[in-house]
């Protein structure tokens, strides 16, 4: 029988979080801590490639709602009560930059019901994919438009890749992940969710390589790049012993994360076309892995690559989804979904950048 480790990694993680997050998040930390130690909520990302009947109706009959369209309606109402010209302009802008094709259903705030596993259609294609609903936000923020070429730099196991494909706008998608075994999982996910004919169209290119190299080899190639980096996966690290980055044997790897994240973001920026957009995301609360990485990558892009990058404001975006998610009070750059007992999603950090030259 395996003996309990002297220092369980989950305890080391919590100790580390207590030390750093009580300073970073101050009086918000105790309630976030409790939420992270409780059961996480999921969302059902609807698979529009499946012809399984009544998927949405059945989920709605259980009390779920598509958070993307409901939060859109609420904001239109809210905006139209302000100055009419501004509200019209703002709501049109919100409408046009969020893909109407992605649907993700969640149970209401405070409802901790669980989803049943998704069923297949007659070809075996599953009707929905279960994931932390907040992890759809970086994909929505990326704002993929018709005909775009998209790079998903750290793609496995593939939840966000699948969400990107639900936009039906991607002309070409390169999904990469360093880990061979995780890339296999990504392939299996896509095979379970996409018809064979779609996979045969050669619109999706899957590789297993170090994403840091793609900056140079694929310079200025993509309209949109998603950089969903490896991080301390805070919720997992606080709860699960297996594959925990707070294990003593992984200390060096953990300490090097901000450097790896910065290098991956720089590669993502380099692979973006002039005028193109990059979204950087993590599932950590850590300022060092979030805002600091973004700031560092912006200055290195300028100094070392001569690339000017501008941070795109996502405050309106956070406001739009504030009925479903709890966002951190204003950060220096980017937006952060905080775990909360009534809406136990996240943590998910995202920051959107535009390449200017």
Ligand X SMILES: C[S@@+](CC[C@H](N)C(=O)[O-])C[C@H]1O[C@@H](n2cnc3c(N)ncnc32)[C@H](O)[C@@H]1O
What residues line the site for ligand X (CB under 6 A)?
Answer: 135, 153-160, 176-179, 182, 210-212, 228-230
Residue with smaller CB distance to ligand X, 282 or 324: 282
Active-site residue (options: 154, 231, 283, 351): 283
Q: Name every residue whose Cβ is closer than 8 Å to that of residue 279 and which is 6 or more positions away in sequence.
A: 138, 139, 141, 142, 224, 225, 226, 227, 350, 351, 352, 353
Of 308, 315, 298, 311, the C-alpha closest to 352 is 311
Of 140, 303, 104, the C-alpha closest to 224 is 140
CB 153 → ligand X: shortest distance, Å? 6
CB 131 → ligand X: shortest distance, Å? 7
Half-sphere exposure (Cβ direction) of 9: Cα atoms closer than 13 Å: 20
CB 160 → ligand X: shortest distance, Å? 4
CB 310 → ligand X: shortest distance, Å? 24
Residue with smaller CB distance to ligand X, 127 or 157: 157
Residue with smaller CB distance to ligand X, 251 or 310: 251
Of 163, 277, 150, the C-alpha closest to 204 is 150
Residue with smaller CB distance to ligand X, 5 or 180: 180
Give the span between the Cα atoms of 209 and 230, in whole angstroms.
14
Residue with smaller CB distance to ligand X, 79 or 352: 352
Let me know if 72 is a catalytic residue.
Answer: no
Give the span between the Cα atoms of 353 and 279, in whole angstroms.
6
Give the span between the Cα atoms of 334 and 143, in whole angstroms.
15
CB 163 → ligand X: shortest distance, Å? 8
Q: Which residues are catalytic?
A: 283
């Amino acid at each position: 029988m395996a003996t309990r480790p002297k220092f369980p990694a989950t305890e080391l993680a919590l100790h580390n979080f207590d030390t750093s997050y009580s300073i970073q998040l101050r009086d918000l930390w105790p309630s976030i801590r409790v939420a992270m130690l409780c059961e996480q909520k999921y969302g059902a990302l609807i698979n529009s490639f499946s012809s399984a009947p009544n998927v949405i109706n059945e989920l709605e009959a259980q009390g779920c709602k598509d958070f993307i369209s409901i939060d859109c309606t609420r904001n239109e109402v809210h905006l139209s009560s302000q100055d009419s010209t501004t509200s019209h302009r703002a709501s049109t802008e919100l409408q046009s930059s969020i893909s109407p094709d992605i649907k993700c259903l969640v149970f209401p705030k405070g409802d901790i019901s669980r989803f049943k596993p998704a069923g297949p259609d007659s070809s075996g294609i599953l009707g929905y994919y279960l994931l932390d609903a907040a992890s759809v936000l970086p994909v929505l923020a990326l704002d993929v438009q018709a005909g775009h070429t998209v790079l998903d730099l750290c793609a496995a196991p593939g939840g966000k890749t699948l969400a990107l494909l639900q936009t039906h706008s991607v002309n070409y998608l390169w999904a990469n992940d360093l880990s061979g075994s995780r890339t296999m999982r990504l392939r299996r996910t896509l095979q379970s969710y996409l018809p064979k004919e779609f996979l045969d169209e050669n619109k999706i290119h899957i590789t297993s390589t170090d994403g840091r190299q793609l900056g140079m080899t694929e310079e200025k190639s993509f309209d949109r790049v998603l950089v969903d980096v490896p991080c301390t996966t805070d919720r997992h690290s606080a709860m699960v012993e297996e594959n925990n980055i707070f294990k003593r044997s992984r200390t060096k790897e953990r300490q090097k994360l901000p450097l790896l994240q910065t290098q991956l973001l720089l590669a993502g920026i380099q692979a973006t076309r002039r005028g193109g957009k990059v979204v950087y995301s993590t599932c950590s609360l850590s300022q060092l892995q979030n805002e600091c990485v973004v700031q560092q990558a912006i200055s290195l892009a300028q100094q070392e690559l001569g690339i000017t990058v501008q941070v795109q404001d996502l405050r309106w975006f956070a406001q739009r989804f504030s009925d479903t998610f709890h966002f951190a009070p204003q950060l220096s750059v980017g937006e952060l979904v905080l775990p909360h007992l009534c809406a136990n999603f996240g943590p998910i950090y995202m920051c959107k950048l535009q390449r200017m030259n």
